[in-house]
Structures are given as structure tokens and as C-alpha cells.
Amino acid sequence: MKYIQSSLFLVFVLQMSFAQPPAGKGYTLLFDESFKGNHLNEQDWRYRIDRRTGFGYMDGLNRKENVFVKDGALHVVLNHEKIDGKWENTGGGVISNHNFGYGYYECLSKPFMEGHGVHTSFWQRGGKNPNNNIFEIDSYEIDSKTWVATNNLYFDLPFKGIDRRPWPHRAQVPFKFDKDGWFLDAYEFTPEGVIFYDNGNIVAKAEWDQLNAHQAVWLTALNGVGKVDSTVQPAESVFKYFRYYAKDYPGITILPNGNFEYNQNKYNPQKPLCWNTEGTNGAVQIVEGDAFLENYKLRIGAPAPYNAGIKQQLEYIMNGEYQLSAMVRSSGGQRAAYIKASDFGGKDLVVKLSASEKWTRVQLPPIKVTNHQITISIASEGAADQWMEVDDVIFMKPIANGDGIVRAKPFANLKAPIWQLAESEPIRFIGDQKFYFFDRNVGYGDTISIDMNIQAAELANMTPIARIPKTGISGWSIQLKKNGGIVFRIGSIESHTDVEVDNIYELGKMVHLTCEYENGTAFIYKSGKLVKQQSGIKHLTKDATAAGRVGTVGKDFEAVGDVVMQVGNSDKENGVLKNFNGSIQHLRIYNRRLF
């Protein structure tokens, strides 16, 4: 394992002073991959070997043969070549053999940009075990010849009442390379969400406090995305280094899925996400109801004799003293029923569970981690109908003053907006190509609400937010008018009903605006007061084809699957509309009425 000891840290900083995590936040370098030598270190990395297809625009073959280490960098060759008698668009990449959690992630790279068809990415997803797809963070996804990079967060976990969670965050941000073609990109993954950096500057923030998982890092270059310009290939994308920094989060658990809520009703209840299951088939279950915390709990037991358990390894965590505790109850009588901490650099620590019908908290002795890792195990061996239940497993560094646990918000909250943006601070748009996508199931249905604080930096015809297709009778947008009024448009660009009201916003002043639609009636509120109601609207808000946009609503770019394609035929709702110039905060969208 490529741990960086503190004695080497100062030397490293002096040598690489241009590449540092945010000052004053307490980060320590724990993993450094600078691709020394002439071979990939396969203890730390594995090759991406697969074919990536889909959506009618993507067909790329990822090969080990396209990846090599030379001159202190990882090179991914991009080529249009004949393999087994067939022309292929080939690329590749590497995936870390280690999982990483909260921390600061940084990569210096030189993405290929000379011709269309290549998709270079620095991202995080999945892990060593297949039961670990919780989220995807795209520090960047860059499509060659396109100077707008994506800063994405996808979240795989559902909850009842919503078939599919909307994309939490898809920011499209213009970017630049340095004079030599290098791009310094980073993201800070925290209990509050993800902060994205380009060349040392914050460019986007994804506020999402349900994000706790340790997953793998990917450095990849996919060839065959859209039309490929094979005349400029073979070529390459180059990755100079990847570095991971960690810090302490006292009072916050760093153990993923310790409350066993992640599976919900979508994933196999016999395989708790983030955990590895061992032993008797069917003895491990995620059970809904009568949990200590929220809705789900872990149960280990069976109608016949059994021996089963789960375990989870955490790597690249800060050294120091930790607490491991859990809420438990048990039938008692088992041959074994315990929670164990091991592989942390000291003697294994175990707490044995006794019979209890009520939820009881158990805690292991203080755990002194000295090697940046730990394995946590929960197991039971018993006779038929003997059982143990576990919930709210917490692994954390204690708060210095002895205060309690800092808890995240409930995992599933059906009263919350289906999508929201800019909760902690406004997002500033300057009329360039910066924009945010939101998903096609956001602001969808017979009833929708869009609620936000908005401040215009100029009086102009601008569309700050829209989810509107070119044709059809469904969709919606909110437009600002040059005279200070607004238009709540229902329908498509081609066919729509405009609900207009004057004197809504003033130059440079924040205004609270709410637009609602319910079964043919539109409502517009200013500062919570109804200022316009219009009924008899034949157009709808049930379009499922157009992705939503905040900031720049012209369709120079399209969300095709999980990739942003530059389509090059801008179709703003009106030829005189400008990209939004101003600020938005507390943007909340509901598939229901608010008032």
C-alpha cells in the first residue's frame, strides 16, 4: 500500500508546492501515485478492460494494451484500429484496487482535445467488491474539442415513493488548460457533499449530506463517443499523478451504511450494500420495520443452524483513536454473537452480545488505528430460530469535548424537494456557457412547483431555468423579461401557453419567486403572495424527453445518458433570449404544490 508517512510529507510539499489541498483544513497526504518507472503498479491499480456502448452514440473498446507508464506518467493510447478483422475505437484506463472515503482528491492530466470522439475522465465509483456502487463523482468528464467540463454527482440509492433518484448535481463549467496543456483538477468529498476545483479554484458545489461510501478511483480515456475524428489518431490522454488527502471528522461516522438504509426495497436484502456477506446463505437479511434508527435494520438468524456475518474494510483512513458502537438486540443462546474490530495495527477487539429484547447500545474499547485501515465484522453462529439484530453502527473519532454524534439528515424524506440547488450560498452565472442539468423526472407530472430566490445582474430577456423540449405539448420554463416581468411558459418551444406578469424583479435585488402548475392552472407567487393565476391551459408539464437546465438553457449541449454531448445547434426558446446573468439561491423543485 502506497501510504505516505508524515515524515515525508514536508519534503513532498516543498517539491510540489503548486499542488496542495485547501489551506487550513487539516488535510494529510495518504496516497500518492506519480507513475514512476516503466510498469503499472498492479498492487494498486487494475486495467479497465471492457466495451462501453449505449444510447446509439457510444462504442468504445477499452484495452490493457492501450495503457502504459513512461516518463513519470500514465499514458492511454487512443486509436482507430483493426482488431480481429473489425475496425475498433480503442482506449482504456486504470481503476484503483483501493477504496477511498471522505477527503481531497487531486489529479494532474492532459486530456486529448485535438479531434472529436474521446471522453477523458477523472472519477470515482464502485470498489473492490461488486456490492459497492453507491454514487459516482465525476471530478471531470471532458469530451474532446469541447471546452465545457462536467462536475457530476450521481446517487444510485432509491427510496420508496420515487422510482429513480434524480441526478443530484450535474454542473457544466467552462475550463482552460495551462500553456503546456495540463489540467489540475480536484474535488473535496465531505460529509456535507462535494466541492469541485479547477486549477485550484472552486467551480461548483454539490450539497448532498447522504453521501458516505468508500469507492475506487478511475483514470480513463474512452474512445468512440459520438463521431470519431480518426484522422488525428493514434493519440493519447496522459495522467501525471493522482493524490488523495484525508482529515479527521470528529463526531461523524466514516463507516458506510452502518444504519443499513442503503438497500431500501431495490437491492437484494441478503447483501447489505458496502458490506461483504459470509457464511450460511439467507442468514443475513436487511429487514424493514422496528428499526432503532429510520426504517431498516440488520438481522442475522435462520430457521436452521447457521453461521454467518458481514464485514467491511476501510482503507486510507487517518490514524488515531476511534470509537465503534452499535445498537443491538438478541435472542441470546448463540454459540457466538459479536462485533469485532481487526487489522488496525493492534490486537483484535471484540464485544460479545448477550440476550436483550430491547435495543441496547454496545461499544468496543477505544481503537487505536496505526496503519490507516480497519476491518469491522458483525457475525453470529447459532441454532435454529436464534437471532441477533443490529442498527446504527458508528465508527468515528470522538469529539474532544465529549459531545455526541453529528448525524446526517434522514435517509428518505418524501416531503423534501425532488431536486434542489444552491442551499448554502448563491450560484453566480455570468452569461457564459456555465449551466446545471437536472433530471427528466424533476418538475414532471400533473402538478409541479419551482421555488427560488433570484437576482438579475441586468434587465434582459433571459431564461434562468427550463425543462422544455423543441416540440410537443409538454414542458415548462421561467423567463425574465427586459421590463422586469416574468413568463411562466407551459408546453414546448414550438407549442406553449405563456403566463405573464409584470413588475416581478428589479435590477440587482433578490426576489423570492414561486411558479406552480396543477391540472391546467398556473400560479405565480412573489414573496409568497399570489400575483397571477391562469386557468384553462391545455398544455402540460409531463414531458419526459428534455433534461432540465439552470443558467444556460440553449441546447448547445444535451444530456445523453450519463455523458454531455455538444450538438452544435443552439435552440434557445427565442432568438433574442440571453444566457442568464445573475444569481440563484434556494432553488427547490417539487412534483407537487407548495401553496
| DSSP sequence for 164-194 | SPPPSEEEEEE----TTS-EEEEEEEETTEE
CA-nearest of 254, 367, 359, 252 to 298 is 359
User: Which residue matches cell numbers 493522482?
Assistant: 242
The DSSP result for 212-241, as a single string, is ---BEEEEEEEE-BSS--GGG-SEEEEEEE
With vertex at residue 136, the alpha carbon angle to CA 135 and CA 140, rounded to the nearest 5 degrees, is 160
Q: Which three cell numbers mark 183?
A: 489540467
Question: Counting beta carbons within 10 angstroms of the beta carbon of residue 592, is it exposed (0 to 12), middle (13 to 18) or buried (19 or more)?
Answer: middle
CA-nearest of 267, 306, 299 to 378 is 299
Yes or no: say if 331 and 385 are a contact pair by the CB < 8 Å rule. yes
Tally DSSP H helices, then E strands, for the chain.
1, 43
- Separation CA 526–CA 506 (nearest Å): 12
In the predicted model, residues of the chain with pLDDT beneath 70 are 1-19, 159-163, 402-403, 411-412, 554-577
User: Which residue matches cell numbers 506518467?
Assistant: 73
Q: Which three cell numbers mark 308?
A: 454467518
Q: What's the full length of the chain, in residues?
A: 595
Report residue 446: phi and psi, to 5°.
-75, -20
Yes or no: say if 516 and 523 are a contact pair by the CB < 8 Å rule. yes
Q: Which three cell numbers mark 5?
A: 508517512
Q: In what order do the strands lie in the sheet with 349-352?
A: 276-279, 306-315, 373-382, 336-342, 349-352
- With b for 16 or more beta-carbon neighbours within 10 A and e for fewer, the 128-142 pattern comes to beebbbbbbbbbbbb
User: Is residue 64 classed as helix, strand or coil in its secondary structure?
Assistant: helix
Yes or no: say if 211 and 187 are a contact pair by the CB < 8 Å rule. no
User: Is residue 401 classed as helix, strand or coil in its secondary structure?
Assistant: coil
- What stretch(es) of the chain map to CATH 2.60.120.200? 6-246, 419-590
Cis omega before residue 272 (within 30°)?
Answer: no
- SS3 track for 12-30: HHHHCCCCCCCCCCCCEEE
CA-nearest of 302, 354, 358, 361 to 327 is 361
- Separation CA 443–CA 452 (nearest Å): 14
Domain 6-246 coded CATH 3.40.50.150: no
Beta-bridge mates of residue 155: 135
Would you state the pLDDT for residue 575? 55
Q: Which residues contact 8 (CB under 8 A, 6 or more apart)?
A: none
Q: Which three cell numbers mark 412?
A: 428518505
Q: Which three cell numbers mark 417?
A: 424537494
User: Is residue 103 classed as helix, strand or coil in its secondary structure?
Assistant: strand
- What stretch(es) of the chain map to CATH 2.60.120.260? 276-396
Domain 419-590 coded CATH 2.60.40.10: no
Would you state the pLDDT for residue 80? 97
Q: Which residues contact 111 (CB under 8 A, 6 or more apart)?
A: 118, 120, 140, 142, 144, 183, 221, 237
Cα dihedral sign for 362, 364, 366, 367? Answer: negative
Would you state the pLDDT for residue 4? 55
Amino acid code (one letter) for 380: S
- Separation CA 133–CA 124 (nearest Å): 10
Would you state the pLDDT for residue 14? 35
- Count the Cβ atoms, other than its own, within 10 Å of residue 15: 9
- Count the Cβ atoms, other than its own, within 10 Å of residue 322: 25
- Separation CA 502–CA 480 (nearest Å): 10
- Separation CA 476–CA 440 (nearest Å): 12
User: Which residue matches cell numbers 482535445?
Assistant: 113
The DSSP result for 317-360, as a single string, is ---EEEEEEEEEEE----SEEEEEEESSSS--EEEE---EEEEE
Yes or no: say if 436 and 485 are a contact pair by the CB < 8 Å rule. no
User: Is residue 65 classed as helix, strand or coil in its secondary structure?
Assistant: helix
Yes or no: say if 90 and 83 are a contact pair by the CB < 8 Å rule. yes
In the DSSP assignment, the letter for residue 6 is H
Domain 276-396 coded CATH 3.40.50.300: no
With vertex at residue 212, the alpha carbon angle to CA 211 and CA 215, rounded to the nearest 5 degrees, is 105
CA-nearest of 593, 417, 444 to 518 is 593
Stated as kind and residue range, the H or E segment containing 87 is strand 86-96
Distance from the Cα of residue 134 to its chain's centroid: 9
CA-nearest of 178, 182, 185 to 202 is 185
- Separation CA 238–CA 107 (nearest Å): 11
